[in-house]
Amino acid sequence: MQSQKRRPVVAGNWKMNGDLALAESFTTAFEGQTLDNIDVILCPPFTLLNSLSSDVFSVGAQTCSEYDNGAHTGEVSCGMIKACGAQYVILGHSERRTDQAESNQLIAKKVEACLKEGLTPILCIGESLEVRESGELFNFLEEQLTVVIEHVGIESFRNMVIAYEPIWAIGTGLTASPEQAQEVHAFIRALLKKSNEAIAENIAILYGGSVKGSNAKELFGQEDVDGGLIGGASLKFEEFLTICQAAN
């Protein structure tokens, strides 16, 4: 890992998985682990936010409402998330962009809501295979990022994490090669650099998409890959720990 400057981050996205027993087993299993050189984050479903707590890892939600409160049945505000002890929120995950039709504009509003509450957004961007093969990869990612930059301002990216997650690699067992990941991460950093060099240098850009214990080290060894956003492999403690150790 390149970064003296950038502290690696490994975030686990449990998606709609897990139960109280799993949350308690992770809390216990992480006790006494020394992962001093990275930030570890676990993002369970809302119902388990209160059940995970540790000196070793932080906790995050998987989405939030763009509103503070009010008549929004089923929604959970950033204030409520914070009150559960969470510090992060995953936003713009491709599953929500697809299943809940979340647009770049809506995601930008959610980023704003998080920042207002002092929560750190983990902003996910990433392309489908169709987009990659059409030759529009970089334009597509630029659009996803630019809408958020224009809405919250580049200064807000001091308090954000970005995750590059190619959709074709999520839950498929297909991983971007380290070179493919590095190419896109360098592109994202260069794009941010146009607005603010220091912020671009300091922001953690995570790779997500079928990261496992066996491929983490090589991916995280790339110059602009500052850790990972882990789905399936974050549900198995030993596997997730191996990934954390690869970043540490």
Where in the sequence numbering do the catalytic residues fall? 93, 165
Binding piece for ligand PGA, criterion CB under 6 A, among 2-10, 47-55, 165-173, 183-191: 165-173
How far is it, in rounded angstroms, from Cα 95 to Cα 10? Answer: 19
The answer to the question of residue 227 lying near ligand PGA (CB under 6 A) is no
Binding string, residues 111-150; x marks residues near ligand PGA by CB under 6 A = ----------------------------------------
Residue numbers 37-56 binding ligand PGA by CB under 6 A: none
For ligand PGA, which is the closer residue by CB, 41 or 199?
A: 41
Report how far apart the first and last C-alpha atoms of the chain are (Å, whole number). Answer: 9
DSSP 194: T
For ligand PGA, which is the closer residue by CB, 58 or 210?
A: 210
Task: Give the burial class of 104: count Cβ atoms within 10 A of its Cβ; 0-12 exposed, 13-18 middle, 19 or more buried.
Answer: middle
Binding piece for ligand PGA, criterion CB under 6 A, among 113-121, 142-150, 197-205, 225-233: 225-233
The answer to the question of residue 209 lying near ligand PGA (CB under 6 A) is yes
Q: Are 132 and 82 in contact (CB under 8 A)?
A: no
The pair of three-digit structure tokens given for residue 195, joined into one six-digit string: 């607005």
**Nearest 5°: CA angle at 107, between 184 and 87?**
90
The answer to the question of residue 171 lying near ligand PGA (CB under 6 A) is yes
The minimum distance between CB 173 and ligand PGA, in angstroms, equals 8
**Nearest 5°: CA angle at 114, between 112 and 119?**
140
What does the binding site for ligand PGA look like in residue numbers (CB under 6 A)? 13, 165, 170-171, 208-211, 229-233
